[in-house]
Amino acid sequence: MKRKITLLLAIIMVAMVILPACGGKPASGETLNVNVGPDPDTIDPALNSSVDGATMIIHAFEGLMNLDRDGVPVPGQAEKYEVSDDGKVYTFHLRDGLKWSDGKDLKASDFVYSWNRAISPETAADYEYMFEVVDGYNEGSLNVQAPDDKTLVVTLYNPVPYFLELTAFPTFFPVRQDLVEEHGDSWAVDVKTYIGNGPYKITEWVPGSHITMSKNKNYWNYEKLGMENIKFVLMEEDTAKLNAYQKKEVLFIDDMPNDEIDAWRDKPEFHLEGQLGTYYLSFNVQKAPLDNKLVREALTLAIDREFIVKEISKKGEVPAGAFVSLGLSDADPTKEFREVGGDYYDPYDYEGNLEKAKELLAQAGYPNGEGIPQLEYLYNESSTHKAIGEALQDMWKKIGVNVSLVSQEWGTFLNTRKNGEYQIARNGWLSDYNDPISMLDMWITGGGNNDAQWSNPEFDALISKIKSSTDPAERFKMMHEAEDLIFADSMLCPIYYYVDLYLIDESVEGFWSSPLGYKYFMYATVKK
């Protein structure tokens, strides 16, 4: 049985106990206050599956490669690398003098340990399936060797066009074996044991209030870092975020109340950028009546997506007629995956979709919704998520389906959804790298991010073929077929394609945001 990730409440209780003994104030110097979310569910690189947690992790840890402002892999902990003629063997050469934030030497063997830890059933990493491309994955021991302290040799099953991007993803970051083995899960909630290899290190952690990171003097690129301290102020409620921004208590917020958007839209600190992701609903396909494909399809069609994006979210999102997001390329790089794949229904034809939804519900044995039990819709605390939930509630009433709304705070919500303890839940996915497979392989049977609890052997086999294919045209053809299987079973319900909204004070320079959702503050400065 897959081990459940520790609940946030438990983490907070542990942290409250240990922080007074091991904390300490941030180093002297200037501090950049920002908000990227509430208390993270986890900031263990192997266990995190949220964008806010990932943003904090990329400031405290670093992989073999980094992604630059354009999303291109550039050297990180590895100064250089070579690839074998057959594209299957990568040899990474680490920089001279790499150290952990406590001054201990970082070695290539740290990557060997960390990658194998990530695929261990005992770790239960949500992203362990990412390592499927590495030789030895199926045997439970990756073909990753450290012939010396500065050399890492990685053997893949087949050439993988996005492998360098994988090495920049948090699950591929190194962690300290001695600390993990001595302290278990608690290593990642204790300032004293949260030792990284990235540009910053945690110097203070007050659960429910803030996480402060200070420059890591042992980081290889220390001289180019920005502010002495970055203070991640922990807030979830969007009104509170905006109030803190207006008072200059924080100089960056990643969200704001929807009814305030129009008032801020023309201000220089208001930003809207494209994102590679989709806002969608998860159906728990193991729970009746959602185990009926016709019910799931009816609920999917009975949604007015134009109303949601124009009247509720108001950020310029595009109604979604599929799952793989806009912006991802196809085999022909001049075309997008979405352009080639098209829509699975017309997201703009609400009236037509509504009539078809009624027909499908009748076919399922629930004419006009008669006999269908009340359903429950789960979302995390946010005015936007609440408003969308209320809109869905009204829309589904038009086909005779009654739905109750349940709100949970972020950490609890993540674990409830992950463990399949829901019927319908709000969800969202940002691609982890610029390849459509990142939005498809999450749905393999037993995958750590498969919140729908869906299982389709044909889909699983297709994903394996995709990952072993060396023919780009064939590979993308199969990815379209994989998405076809998702919608043939109506196992999820797309709402809209994401855009990224944030406010950042004009005094902040050197910041950038990634279409993958990450926020980069490590080279930011504040003009006086």
**SS3 (DSSP) at 387:** helix
Identify whether residues 141 and 200 lie together within a single domain: no
Predicted confidence band of residue 528 (pLDDT cuts 50, 70, 90): confident
Mean pLDDT score, 89-108: 98
Number of domains into which the chain is organized: 3
pLDDT score at 9: 34
Query: Residue with structure tokens 């629930």?
Result: 366
Measured at the CA of 277, the angle between CA 508 and CA 497, to 5 degrees, comes to 100
User: Tell me: the pLDDT tens digits for 444-455?
Assistant: 999 999 999 999
What amino acid is encoded at 427 in this protein?
A: N
Residues 200, 219: Cα–Cα separation, whole Å: 8
Domain containing 101 — which CATH number?
3.90.76.10
**pLDDT over 90 for what percent of the chain?**
92
- The Cα–Cα gap between 142 and 155 comes to 8
Residues 312 and 454 in one domain: yes
Q: How far apart are CA 87 and CA 485, in angstroms?
A: 30
Contact 486, 278 (CB under 8 A): no
Yes or no: say if 32 and 526 are a contact pair by the CB < 8 Å rule.
Answer: yes
518 to 126, 276, 401, 514: CA distances (angstroms): 18, 11, 38, 5
Question: pLDDT digit string (tens) for 231-277?
Answer: 999 999 999 999 999 999 999 999 999 899 999 999 999 999 999 99
Average pLDDT over residues 48-52: 94
DSSP, collapsed to helix, strand or coil, labels residue 280 as strand
Same domain, 169 and 184: no
Name the pLDDT band for 18 (thresholds 50, 70, 90): very low
| Mean pLDDT to the nearest integer, 440-446 | 97
**Widest pairwise Cα distance in the chain:** 70
Residues 46 and 193 in one domain: yes
Q: What is the pLDDT of residue 30?
A: 93
Regarding beta strands 73-75 and 318-319, do their DSSP bridges make them parallel or antiparallel, or are they unpaired? unpaired
Minimal CA–CA distance to 157: which of 82, 109, 89? 89
CATH number, position 378: 3.10.105.10
Instruction: Count Cα neighbours of 119 within 13 Å in the Cβ-side half-sphere.
Output: 22
Whether residues 37 and 86 share a domain: the answer is no
pLDDT average, residue stretch 93-118:
98
Q: Are residues 252 and 197 part of one domain? A: yes
Residue 470's pLDDT is what? 87
What residues contact 225, with CB distance under 8 A and at least 6 apart? Answer: 199, 200, 215, 219, 522, 523
Question: Based on the domain organization, do 100 and 48 belong to the same domain?
Answer: no
Which of 174, 207, 227 terminates a domain? The answer is: 174
The DSSP string of 208-264 is TTEEEEEE-TTSTTGGG---SEEEEEE---HHHHHHHHHTTS-SEES---GGGHHHH
pLDDT at residue number 29: 55
Question: Would you say how long the chain is, in residues?
Answer: 528
Q: Are strands 89-94 and 270-283 parallel, antiparallel or unpaired?
A: unpaired
Nearest to 272 by CA among 250, 296, 254, 248: 254
Q: Do 405 and 328 have their domain in common?
A: yes
How sure is the predictor about 20, in pLDDT bands with cuts at 50, 70 and 90? very low
Q: Where are the alpha helices (DSSP H) in 102-148?
A: 108-119
Q: Is 340 helix (H, G, I), strand (E, B) or coil?
A: helix
- Evaluate whether 476 touches 305 at the Cβ level (below 8 Å): no
Q: Based on the fold, state whether residues 487 and 410 are members of the same structural domain.
A: yes
Beta bridge partners of 202: 213
Beta bridge partners of 144: 154
Mean pLDDT estimate for the chain: 93
What's the predicted TM-score (pTM) here? Answer: 0.89
Chain-centroid distance, C-alpha 314? 22
pLDDT tens digits, residue range 279-309?
A: 999 999 999 999 999 999 999 999 999 999 9
Q: How far apart are CA 424 and CA 492, in angstroms?
A: 10
Query: Are 340 and 315 in the same domain?
Result: yes
**Relative orientation angle of helices 293-301 and 350-363, to the nearest 10 degrees:** 160
Within this chain, do residues 281 and 423 fall inside the same structural domain, yes or no? Answer: yes
- Please report, for the domain that includes residue 248, its CATH number: 3.40.190.10
In angstroms, the CA 337 to CA 102 distance is: 45
Beta carbons of 183 and 177 less than 8 angstroms apart: no
Query: What would the two tokens of residue 421 be?
Result: 């303890």
Structural domain boundaries enclosing 250: 1-60+178-269+505-528
CB count in 10 Å sphere of residue 398: 13
Distance from chain centroid for Cα 96: 32
C-beta separation of 59 from 43 below 8 A:
no
* Predicted local distance difference test score (pLDDT) of residue 405: 98
What pLDDT is stored for residue 11 in this prediction?
Answer: 36
pLDDT, residue 67, reads 96
Distance CA 170, CA 292 (A): 36
Fill in the DSSP letter of residue 336. Answer: B
Residues 381 and 371 in one domain: yes
Give the pLDDT band of residue 24 (cuts 50, 70, 90): very low
